[in-house]
């Protein structure tokens, strides 16, 4: 399976993300549902966006691992951030987590609220791995 990150010269190029990611060849696609800043006991970790983003990214990593994938296999992230919080804080926190330093395709949405009033971020991922 071949994963290619594409940044057309006619679009803005940012080293933090790719404009397009293509996947070619035989493999499987993994969809990780929205992950929040909860630990295995269901306790919310952190009351600031940075700490919650780190926990949510660790949860995404754990979910990927359960499907025999790694962060490097992620082709698309969707990040939901509660309004009033810095998107840059979320990106900086996410890049602290091991394996999450490659520029995948990313969509960030600022939302009014998430499923729990203390949640500040929720992260979904799509990964592609060779069979």
Cα-based torsion angle of the residue sequence 19, 88, 107, 2 in order, rounded to the nearest 10 degrees: 50
Q: Is residue 81 part of a domain?
A: yes
Distance between CA atoms of residues 90 and 54, nearest Å:
8
Q: Is residue 12 part of a domain?
A: no
Q: Is residue 114 part of a domain?
A: yes
How many structural domains comprise the chain?
Answer: 1
Q: What is the pLDDT of residue 13?
A: 86
pLDDT tens digits for 59-101?
Answer: 999 999 999 999 999 999 999 999 999 988 888 888 888 888 7
Q: Is residue 11 part of a domain?
A: no
Q: Is residue 83 part of a domain?
A: yes
Q: Is residue 13 part of a domain?
A: no
3-class DSSP assignment, residue 2: strand
Q: Is residue 93 part of a domain?
A: yes
Rounded mean pLDDT, 9-13: 88
- What is the overall mean pLDDT for the chain? 92
| Residue-number span of the structural domain to which 40 is assigned | 2-6+18-130
Q: Domain of 101: which CATH number?
A: 3.30.1330.40
Q: Is residue 117 part of a domain?
A: yes
Q: What is the pLDDT of residue 24?
A: 87
Side by side, the strands of the sheet bearing 121-130 are 27-35, 121-130, 74-82, 105-111
Residues in the chain: 131
Quickly count: other Cβ atoms within 10 Å of residue 95's Cβ.
14
């Amino acid at each position: 399976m071949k994963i290619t990150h594409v940044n057309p010269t006619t679009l803005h190029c940012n080293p933090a993300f790719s404009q397009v990611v293509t996947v070619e060849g035989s493999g499987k696609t993994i969809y990780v549902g929205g992950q929040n800043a909860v630990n295995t006991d269901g306790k919310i970790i952190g009351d600031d966006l940075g700490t919650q983003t780190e926990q949510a990214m660790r949860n995404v990593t754990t979910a990927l691992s359960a499907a025999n994938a790694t962060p490097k296999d992620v082709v698309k992230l969707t990040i939901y951030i509660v309004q009033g919080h810095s998107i840059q804080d979320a990106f900086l926190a996410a890049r602290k987590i091991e394996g999450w330093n490659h520029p995948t395709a990313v969509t960030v949405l600022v939302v009014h609220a998430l499923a729990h009033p203390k949640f500040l971020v929720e992260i979904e991922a799509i990964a592609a791995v060779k069979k």
